[in-house]
Structure 1
Amino acid sequence: MKEKPFAITLDVGSSLANRTGAWRTERPEYVHRLPPCNAACPAGENIQQWLFHAESGDYESAWRELMRDNPLPAVMGRICYHPCETACNRVQVDDAVGINAVERFLGDEAIRHGWTVEAPQATSGKRVLVVGSGPAGLSAAYHLRLLGHEVTIREAQDRAGGMMRYGIPRYRLPREVLDAEIDRVLALGITLELGTRVDDVLAAQRDGGFHAVFLAVGAGIGRRAYIPAGDSARILDAVTLLGGMEGEGPPLLGRKVAVYGGGNTAMDAARTARRLGATDAVVVYRRTRDRMPAHDEEVTEALEEGVRMKWLSTIKHADGGRITIERMELDETGFPQPTGEFEELDADTVVLALGQDSDLSLVEDVPDLAVDHGTVQVADGLMTGCQGIFAGGDMVPAERTATVAVGHGKKAARHIDAYLRGTSYRPGPKHDPAAFDRLNTWYYADAPASVRPRLELARRVSTFDEVVQGLDESTALFEARRCMSCGNCFECDNCYGVCPDNAITKLGPGKGFAIDLDYCKGCGLCVAECPSGAMDMVPEE
């Protein structure tokens, strides 16, 4: 008797036999959505991607992903006001992911291990002048060098770093950290010319044979205000005070210091005064705390360190170690109005922290370059009205933070590169946002954020040691793992496990999944159970 060939007989009740895909009116699709942290980052970092590497313990890969967008992670991990965390979806579950803390950890690991970035072997033959070595200038120089161009930075001061060095106190940004990251950028083959002021940008471009220029002059001029004062009154601006900390000796302020203003620079000035020996440092501000431009954490730390706040107050007169302040009240629009009520305070020194401007004298004679309200006007690609002259950072209309400046440097570099190559740069389209209501948070256990340790209060006002400390490896790893991967698959296998039709196939680590539409009947269980909202049901065509 002839044997029958071997065959697999499918159970008539199985989906594989019935090809239930024919029942479907909707089908699931894997999607990519824009995480809210990425969308909120002024430097344009791919935060979710570098957190993905960090949570696996691959810190060098995480750092290299970070360095694709931001060449100063150890610095920004200290001074960035982390809008990414304000936008983080996890804040609606327990606490936002400590993105800034993990960024600092990765930056410090890179310094500790000596990780470097390789410069390209070939050069384009194009030369770019960067004016200013602050965050915008360093970022532009870094990205331009990686794009193959020769870069020269000219800096008027005798040290690089711009307002990061001359405007941010050491207790927030240790200089050895700043120097380490600047040195890594320069090691790519970038020329730095210190003590070289550019007075005429067109002459500098012509004489140096530069094909393009990026202007990144920081806001280093303190604004003044008319305050009637006697001959014995000592008044200086906050920029002079903070910049003077980088000189041979600190400024002499006396025992009682009044700081006039309500921004972050005012907080830095008052906290610096305390460290210089002021027994009484008072901030005089015209509005209330909730209307202060200073970030809340800066105000809180200042109060912890004994800085007093005189809300709804303005300085009317200064003389002989005393100031006269007038009480204000807010009108129906929130604008402060004088009340005619006065008070006197002791003040050996008055520090004005009323805002800052950039020195724009170098562009006075540049044709077609427009200046409005103290800022250089630029197009979407950060080019001014003069061909080949770009500008960013504090010089242009934007929020004046170091992270915004880093983002400007990267953006300008891409547009300068396109300009030099005779093309145009067009960023790709952005994905739809990964909203919180797309997530299935049942799968995420409660995990409150790690708290960064702080220098004990007793030591703060007697030293310029760093106040906010970093995370150790275990807490940094824990913090990275709190990321919910909003809007993007992290291969949790939920879809694979819950599919009743075995229609989902694993493609391998890092490759995701595939859906066999012959057997998917469109029940939507996989979409409903996706923790990160990385799947959608779409109508069947």
Structure 2
Amino acid sequence: MRVSEQQRDLTPLAPLGLGRLRSGPVRSQRPLYVDLLPPCNAGCPAGENIQAWLALEKDGDHEAAWRQLTADNPFPAIHGRVCYHPCETACNRVDLDGAVSIHAVERFLGDLAIEHGWQFEPPATRTGRRVLVIGSGPSGLSAAYHLARLGHEVVVRDNGPEPGGMMRYGIPAYRLPRHVLDAEIARLVTLGVRFEQNHRVTDLEAERVEGDFDTVFVAVGAHLSKRVDIPNMDAKRVLDAVTFLRGVETGEQEALSGTVAVYGGGNTAMDAARVARRVGADESVIVYRRTREQMPAHEEEADDAEAEGIRINWLRTIKDMGERDLTVEVQELDEHGRPHGTGIYEMLAADTVILALGQESDTAFLRGVAGVEFDADVVQVHPSTLMTGAPGVFAGGDAVPSQRTVTIGVGHGKRAARSIDAWLRSDEFVKAPRHDIIHSDRLNLWYFGDHDQRQQPELDPVERVKAFEEVVAGLSEQEARFEAGRCLSCGNCFECDGCFGSCPEDAIIKLGKGLRYEFNYAKCTGCGTCYRQCPVHAIEMVAESEFESEGAPVPVADAVERG
């Protein structure tokens, strides 16, 4: 007898008396719990698992949150103040009511750790291998921390009187108080890192042999200021920004007076102009040859400078210096956005000029090392391992091609430490795989509602230019937990019970706090209700064919025991 197409598609009935349903749908897809990469994690140059430590802080487990954070970045009290938080720019909550104030929560945890004296756990074993780190700025300190945690003996040599590099001698105290910097570095000493300050390295090979070092990480900062020739320039009236900021920190810089003109448009220029006001200048002005949109300084740096009364002269370049004034030429942009002179000149009062035109790294001591290659002042390294052309010599931070920020330097230090550890153990360095980044278009933002960001209080601009007191204050414990609670947990289950409550087949098993859930596929029909309601896209529907080991999909209802 001929079987119709309709009859052919019917699932065969099970014999009576077996305690099973006798018919049911054929599942074509099944739900899977997934862990996707949140954009904050992906955007962090230091490689922090931001979502994980925010979740711990939300639960009020401050020390666990701090330890999760410092597994990747040893300096949360520093980064909570000076990092430009690209994680917040990437935050999916921007599309709802404003980014999570990640840096503020990070600062809270860092300050709390200092208050309570929390220390890093020492390594379980020691390897007996010795590593020389040259430079005690953010990249060198980060590498020293991670290498020490891995059990290696670390010696940091630096030509400055105190460790910290540009964090100490370039970032003003009103942004990074020195007691905070000192406390974060002190933990490294307790961990076993040895610091040798006022030590200038001139012969790398000699240092390596005499100290019996197995490998070297070069993390020298960009301390050499770029110069420019200006007609009639009087050296007594002209300072370079790096030397000026360093002199203020060490107490060697004399007080200023009158009008100070800062030439440049980067973060260092903004700092120099703000510091000039604090050391006596009646007025600070900035001269920059491009537009605000083109300036290398971060937007908030320019905002803070202007809030303190500093005038920024956009599209201007210095052409000549008089006894107490400057001749500046007005610029305009061509069709490619490049500035050029217009032949229109203006006079600008200036008793002192500070040049902030960029810095170069002092890498001259590497010039004679076989295999090390350069591009101008920076060292060429393998993009993944950060090893130079010389075996066992690694470099990072300002010494290599990259943006020059504290957070990028810290990220380089962590990456270099892992590469150095693999090299010392004769293991192949394996780069972490990239994961699927979850964006807001895959979230159910309606679930969360509006909760505005907690704001950090700031000193009044009129008062803050009088001294170096910290400008921005931190969050309270309640505010920090509230802010951590604003995290959307993008792409990762946070146990909201939405799937558990919405499943029409009772196919989801709740495993207990912190253990999430699992699917009972014997009951699941693949309807996708759990997937559609999940607010954070922690569930995906996958074709059943990807799980079949043999034959056709099992009819779901026939597989479920009922008796």
Instruction: State the SS of the aligned residue for 2:250.
Output: coil
How far 1:120 sits from its partner (Å)? 1.6
Query: Residue 454 in 1 paired to residue 458 in 2?
Result: yes
Contact 1:262–1:284, Cα closer than 8 Å, also in 2: yes
Residue among 420, 432, 435 paired with 1:431? 435
Q: Which residue of 2 aligns with 1:505?
A: 509
Contact 2:325–2:350, Cα closer than 8 Å, also in 1: yes
Please list, as runs of the form range in 1=range in 2, the aligned pairs for 1:257-406 lying within 5 A after superposition.
257-379=260-382, 380-406=384-410
Task: Tell me whether 393-402 or 112-121 shows the greater mean CA deviation.
Answer: 112-121
Q: Which residue of 1 aligns with 2:477?
A: 473
Give the whole-Å Cα distance in 1 for the aligned partners of 2:516 and 2:435.
18
Contact 2:255–2:280, Cα closer than 8 Å, also in 1: no
Please list, as runs of the form range in 1=range in 2, the aligned pairs for 1:58-457 lying within 5 A after superposition.
58-231=61-234, 234-379=237-382, 380-457=384-461
Task: Show CA shifts across 1:289-340 (max 9, x none).
Answer: 1111111111111001010111110001113121111100011111001011
Task: Show CA shifts across 1:46-93 (max 9, x none).
Answer: 000000100001010000001100011100110000000000000000
Task: Show CA shifts across 1:217-244 (max 9, x none).
Answer: 0001111111112547611110011111
Query: Residue 488 in 1 paired to residue 492 in 2?
Result: yes
Q: Which runs of no fewer than 5 residues in structure 2 stay unpaired? A: 1-18, 546-563
Give the whole-Å Cα distance in 2 for the aligned partners of 1:29 and 1:361.
55
Which residue identity is paired with 1:339?
A: T
Q: Which residue of 1 aligns with 2:60?
A: 57
Instruction: State the SS of the aligned residue for 1:37.
Output: helix
Give the whole-Å Cα distance in 2 for the aligned partners of 1:527 and 1:166.
53
How far 1:121 sits from its partner (Å)? 4.5
Task: Tell me whether 419-428 or 397-406 shows the greater mean CA deviation.
Answer: 419-428
Contact 1:30–1:535, Cα closer than 8 Å, also in 2: yes
**Residues 511 and 253 of structure 1, relative CA distance in 2, 3 Å threshold:** same
Residue among 40, 50, 56 paired with 2:43? 40
**Residues 396 and 30 of structure 1, relative CA distance in 2, 3 Å threshold:** same
Contact 2:509–2:517, Cα closer than 8 Å, also in 1: yes
Give the whole-Å Cα distance in 2 for the aligned partners of 1:434 and 1:20.
39
Task: Show CA shifts across 1:486-532 (max 9, x none).
Answer: 00001110000000110101011111111111111111110010011
How far 1:458 sits from its partner (Å)? 2.2
Which residue identity is paired with 1:100?
A: H
How far 1:20 sits from its partner (Å)? 8.2
Q: Which residue of 2 aligns with 1:525?
A: 529
Instruction: State the SS of the aligned residue for 1:265.
Output: helix
Instruction: State the SS of the aligned residue for 2:94.
Output: helix
Which residue identity is paired with 1:86?
A: T
Task: Tell me whether 56-65 or 319-328 shows the greater mean CA deviation.
Answer: 319-328
Give the whole-Å Cα distance in 2 for the aligned partners of 1:364 and 1:444.
56
**Residues 407 and 19 of structure 1, relative CA distance in 2, 3 Å threshold:** farther
Contact 1:231–1:319, Cα closer than 8 Å, also in 2: no
Contact 1:232–1:320, Cα closer than 8 Å, also in 2: no
RMSD of Structure 2 on Structure 1 (CA)? 1.3
Give the whole-Å Cα distance in 1 for the aligned partners of 2:456 and 2:159.
36
**Residues 18 and 235 of structure 1, relative CA distance in 2, 3 Å threshold:** farther
How far 1:123 sits from its partner (Å)? 1.1
Contact 1:259–1:350, Cα closer than 8 Å, also in 2: yes
Give the whole-Å Cα distance in 2 for the aligned partners of 1:427 and 1:261.
38
**Residues 96 and 431 of structure 1, relative CA distance in 2, 3 Å threshold:** same
Give the whole-Å Cα distance in 1 for the aligned partners of 2:137 and 2:236.
33
Task: Tell me whether 312-321 or 155-164 shows the greater mean CA deviation.
Answer: 312-321
How far 1:17 sits from its partner (Å)? 6.0
Give the whole-Å Cα distance in 2 for the aligned partners of 1:428 and 1:278.
50
How far 1:378 sits from its partner (Å)? 0.2
Which has the higher Rg, Structure 1 or Structure 2? 2
How far 1:448 sits from its partner (Å)? 1.1
Instruction: State the SS of the aligned residue for 1:519.
Output: coil
Q: Tell me the TM-score normalized by structure 1.
A: 0.95
Give the whole-Å Cα distance in 2 for the aligned partners of 1:21 and 1:209.
73
Contact 2:130–2:212, Cα closer than 8 Å, also in 1: yes
Task: Show CA shifts across 1:437-466 (max 9, x none).
Answer: 111111101011111110122211101001
Q: Tell me the TM-score normalized by structure 2.
A: 0.92
Instruction: State the SS of the aligned residue for 1:213.
Output: strand
Instruction: State the SS of the aligned residue for 2:353.
Output: strand
Task: Tell me whether 224-233 or 304-313 shows the greater mean CA deviation.
Answer: 224-233
Give the whole-Å Cα distance in 2 for the aligned partners of 1:133 and 1:350.
30
Give the whole-Å Cα distance in 1 for the aligned partners of 2:237 and 2:326.
11
**Residues 493 and 249 of structure 1, relative CA distance in 2, 3 Å threshold:** same
Which residue identity is paired with 1:462?
A: K
**Residues 19 and 485 of structure 1, relative CA distance in 2, 3 Å threshold:** farther
How far 1:22 sits from its partner (Å)? 4.7
Q: Which residue of 1 aligns with 2:556?
A: none
